[in-house]
Structure 1
Amino acid sequence: VETVITATGGRKAVEYAKQKAFDLILMDIQMPEMDGVTTCQQIHDTELNRTTPVIAVTAHAMAGERER
């Protein structure tokens, strides 16, 4: 059984990551409150999701975004 949890922004995603271990996280690069890169770093600082794989998703094809 798969369960999908959605967050309305970066701060909410970090809050969830402090409460529950996830198997995989899909992360938009541009989100309200906090960008996806910063959010990912903070999620990986949590005890429960330190090693959880994060797949970055973005509609931006600007130079530099892919590298981030």
Structure 2
Amino acid sequence: MCDRLLKDGHQLRIFERPRVPPYREFNNDESVHWVTGDFEALMTLMMPLKVWTVYCIWFQQRCQKLK
């Protein structure tokens, strides 16, 4: 899935458990931010979720403007 999203021009933030290496090396020209943390610890989830929330709000506002 990640490779397809990158191919389509998306920027990715991947959140994975600690000590799980990326499934492949990403080139400098690929927009991938690999973040590790504890899924059970709320504080470690806040940054990726905050970015996702900002994107969702931006996307929703953009869609409303197109109507």
TM-score, structure 2 as length reference: 0.33
Larger RCO: 1 or 2 (CA < 8 Å, sep 6+): 1
